Amino acid sequence: MSAVLRLLLHRLGISLIVLIGVSMLIFSIARIIPGDPARIALGPNATVEQITKLRGEMNLDAPLPVQYGFFLADISRGDLGTSLYTNRPVTQDIAQFLPATLELVFLAGAIMVAVGLPLGILAARYRGRWPDHFVRVLALLTVSAPGFVWAVILMLLFAFYLPLFPIAGRLSDIYEIERTTGFLTIDTLLAGNFAAFKDAVHHLILPAVALSLSGIGQAARLTRANMVETYDKPYIEMAQAYGFHPSRIARSYAFKPSLIPSLTIIGLDFAVMLGNAFLVEAVFAWPGLSRYGVAVILRKDLNAIMGTVLVIAVTFLIVNIIVDLLIAFLNPRIRYSTRGTS
Amino acid sequence: MSILDIKNLNLAFKTLTGQVDVLHGIDLNIAAGEKVALVGESGSGKSVTARVVLGLLQETRSARINGSVVFDGQDINAMPARKRAALRGTKMSMIFQDPTSSLNPMFTVGNQFTEVLRRRDHKLSKMASHDRATKLLEEVAIPDPARVLGSYAFQLSGGMNQRVMIAMALANRPKLLLADEPGTALDVSVQAQTVSLMRDLVEENGTSVLFISHNLGVVREFADRVYVIYRGRIVEDGPTAALFANPLHAYTRALMSAVPRITGAGLPEVPEVSDDFLAARVSHTEAS
Ligand SMILES: Nc1ncnc2c1ncn2[C@@H]1O[C@H](COP(=O)(O)OP(=O)(O)OP(=O)(O)O)[C@@H](O)[C@H]1O
Ligand SMILES: [Mg+2]
Pocket of ligand 1 (CB under 6 A): B 13, 15, 20, 22, 40, 42-48, 60, 62
**CB within 8 A of B196, min separation 6: which ones?**
B221
Helices (H) and strands (E) in chain B, counts: 11, 11
Cβ atoms B70, B78 nearer than 8 A: no
**CB within 8 A of A227, min separation 6: which ones?**
A120, A121, A124, A125, A250, A254, A255, A258
User: Is there a domain that residue A321 lies in?
Assistant: no
Residue A194 C-alpha from the chain's centroid: 27
Which helix (H) or strand (E) segment holds residue A8: the answer is helix A2-32
Instruction: Answer with the one of A41, A76, A111 that is the final residue of a domain.
Output: A76
How far, in Å, CA of B278 to CA of B142, rounded? 46
How far, in Å, CA of B183 to CA of B192, rounded? 9
Same domain, A119 and A63: no
Instruction: Answer with the one of A76, A98, A131 that is the final residue of a domain.
Output: A76
pLDDT digits (tens, 9 = 90+) for B227-271: 999 999 999 999 999 999 999 898 998 888 875 544 544 555 665
pLDDT digits (tens, 9 = 90+) for A135-190: 999 999 998 888 889 999 999 999 999 999 998 889 888 888 888 888 999 999 99
Same domain, A51 and A104: no
User: Is there a domain that residue A307 lies in?
Assistant: no
How far, in Å, CA of A183 to CA of B161, rounded? 51
For residue B50, the ligand 1 atom closest to its alpha carbon is: 18
Side chain identity at B42, as an amino acid letter? S
Chain A contacts of B105, Cβ < 8 Å? 235, 257, 332-333
- Residues around ion ligand 2, judged by CB within 5 A, are B 47
User: Is there a domain that residue A151 lies in?
Assistant: yes
How far, in Å, CA of A196 to CA of A172, rounded? 8
| Cβ distance of B85 and A256 shorter than 8 Å | no
Instruction: Answer with the one of A76, A107, A136 that is the final residue of a domain.
Output: A76
How far, in Å, CA of A35 to CA of A27, rounded? 15
| Most confident option among A221-225, A260-264, A267-271 | A221-225
Same domain, A95 and A72: no
Cβ neighbourhood burial of A338 (10 Å; 0-12, 13-18, 19+): exposed
pLDDT digits (tens, 9 = 90+) for A192-205: 899 999 999 999 99
User: Is there a domain that residue A339 lies in?
Assistant: no
| Cβ distance of B89 and A253 shorter than 8 Å | no
| Cβ distance of A243 and B119 shorter than 8 Å | yes
- What is the reported pLDDT for A38? 75
The residue whose C-alpha atom lies closest to atom 2 belonging to ligand 1 is B13
Name which of B187, B130, B126 is nearest B162 in CA terms: B187
pLDDT digits (tens, 9 = 90+) for A65-116: 888 888 788 888 888 888 878 889 999 999 999 999 999 999 999 999 999 9
Name which of B226, B230, B256 is nearest B240 in CA terms: B226
pTM of the model: 0.85
Question: How close A253 comes to chain B (CA, Å)?
Answer: 7
The phi, psi pair for B209, rounded to 5°, reads -135, 135
- What is the reported pLDDT for A276? 85
Same domain, A100 and A56: no
Domain count, chain A: 2
pLDDT of A39 above 80: no
Same domain, A137 and A276: yes
Question: How many residues are present in chain B?
Answer: 288
| Cβ distance of B87 and A243 shorter than 8 Å | yes
- Please give the radius of gyration of chain B, using alpha carbons only, rounded to the nearest integer: 19
User: Is there a domain that residue A50 lies in?
Assistant: yes
**Per-residue confidence at A339, pLDDT binned at 50, 70, 90?**
very low
Side chain identity at B224, as an amino acid letter? D
- What is the reported pLDDT for B236? 93
Q: What is the mean pLDDT of each run of 10 residues along chain B (288 residues)?
A: 94 93 95 95 93 93 94 94 94 93 95 95 93 95 94 94 95 96 85 91 95 89 94 94 91 78 52 73 71
pLDDT digits (tens, 9 = 90+) for A307-331: 888 888 888 888 888 888 888 888 8
Query: What is each CA distance from B185 to A71, B104, B188, B189, in whole angstroms?
Result: 61, 17, 9, 12
- What is the reported pLDDT for B272? 66
Same domain, A152 and A107: yes
Angle at B174 between CA B168 and CA B179, to 5 degrees: 65
User: Is there a domain that residue A305 lies in?
Assistant: no
Percent of chain A predicted with pLDDT > 90: 42
Partner residue facing B105 (CB), from A128, A242, A333: A333
Partner residue facing B160 (CB), from A234, A242, A342: A342
HSE (side-chain half, CA atoms, 13 Å) at A338: 9
Longest dimension (CA), chain B: 60
Inter-chain Cβ pairs, chain A and chain B, closer than 8 A = 78
Same domain, A98 and A156: yes
Question: How close B79 comes to chain A (CA, Å)?
Answer: 15
Chain B contacts of A341, Cβ < 8 Å? 154-157
Mean pLDDT of the A118-126 span: 96
What is the average pLDDT value for chain A, to the nearest integer? 87
How far, in Å, CA of B112 to CA of B153, rounded? 10
Same domain, A97 and A54: no
Partner residue facing A241 (CB), from B54, B105, B108: B54
Cβ atoms A219, A120 nearer than 8 A: yes
- Host domain of residue A44: 3-76
**Per-residue confidence at A222, pLDDT binned at 50, 70, 90?**
very high
Same domain, A65 and A198: no
Name which of A190, A148, A200 is nearest A170 in CA terms: A200
Helices (H) and strands (E) in chain A, counts: 15, 0
- What is the reported pLDDT for A341? 40
**Per-residue confidence at A340, pLDDT binned at 50, 70, 90?**
very low
Same domain, A54 and A116: no
Same domain, A239 and A129: yes
Same domain, A137 and A242: yes
Angle at B61 between CA B52 and CA B122, to 5 degrees: 60
| Cβ distance of A241 and B151 shorter than 8 Å | no
CATH number at residue A139: 1.10.3720.10
Torsion sign over Cα B264, B266, B271, B272? positive
- What is the reported pLDDT for A236? 96
User: Is there a domain that residue A310 lies in?
Assistant: no
Residue A253's closest chain B neighbor by CA? Answer: B104
User: Is there a domain that residue A96 lies in?
Assistant: yes
- What is the reported pLDDT for B262? 46
| Cβ distance of A342 and B115 shorter than 8 Å | no
The phi, psi pair for B21, rounded to 5°, reads -85, 130
